[in-house]
Amino acid sequence: KQEVTQIPAALSVPEGENLVLNCSFTDSAIYNLQWFRQDPGKGLTSLLLIQSSQREQTSGRLNASLDKSSGRSTLYIAASQPGDSATYLCAVRLMPSNTGKLIFGQGTTLQVKP
Amino acid sequence: ETGVTQTPRHLVMGMTNKKSLKCEQHLGHNAMYWYKQSAKKPLELMFVYSLEERVENNSVPSRFSPECPNSSHLFLHLHTLQPEDSALYLCASSQDLGTGGNQPQHFGDGTRLSIL
């Protein structure tokens, strides 16, 4: 059974710091891995999607890496800002992928202090 | 602006009530999903629809009944719920379920459900 774990559960950093969020999964037979952001009382916003054949994806100040063999992904946020404060969720899409089923971690709640 | 709209945003109901949650997507997607987000638990997939056909029921109790009348609309009918069903219910959509593409899922803002 696929399990997704995110460490740490919560993180507080001063503005301007570079930071890394971690995601691990138990079964390497994944189709892709997706990072989401969730603001309080809101739905999820997709940040980055990494296909199983890829090693990383970048969007602005965000960089996500994937090491399928070790069952790990990291989300790197450069020069953090107070507006980055949110809960960050990672999710893996299982193989076979014909149901689109995602397995989520519990998330890392990030607070960036001005 | 998410392209996926859920109504109502908040719902309080008694255990004997019947209510429905509504989801509408304006993205031209063919697949739609219901998720449950409880406090201190990971997001859980409930149902998946593709081209209006249910393709996944993730062992959800029968007091939750989904309906997908067309590819743009998804409902979740609720009946005789329990207090532990209080949660945020999220709807999502994606282009399709096929392996030919890696389309991300797009989420609505959810319905916060409280069972008295």
The pLDDT value given to residue B53: 86
Task: Name the token pair of A67.
Answer: 């090491």
Q: A27-85, pLDDT tens digit by residue?
A: 988 989 999 999 988 899 999 999 999 999 999 999 999 999 999 999 999 999 999 99
Q: Determine the distance from the C-alpha atom of residue B85 to the mean position of all C-alpha atoms in its chain, rounded to a whole number.
A: 13
Q: Determine the distance from the C-alpha atom of residue A75 to the mean position of all C-alpha atoms in its chain, rounded to a whole number.
A: 5
Q: B44-58, pLDDT tens digit by residue?
A: 999 999 888 888 888
Q: B5-19, pLDDT tens digit by residue?
A: 999 999 999 888 899
The pLDDT value given to residue B105: 87
pLDDT of residue B99 exceeding 70, the answer is no
Residues of B in contact with A99 (CB under 8 A): 48, 55-56, 97
Place A97 in a pLDDT band, splitting at 50, 70 and 90: low
> Would the CB atoms of A101 and B102 count as touching at under 8 Å?
no
Q: Check CB contact of B52 with chain A, cutoff 8 Å.
A: no
At B61, which amino acid appears? P
Helix, strand, coil percentages (3-state) for chain A, rounded to 5, are 5, 60, 40
Q: How far is A88 from chain B (nearest CA, A)?
A: 12
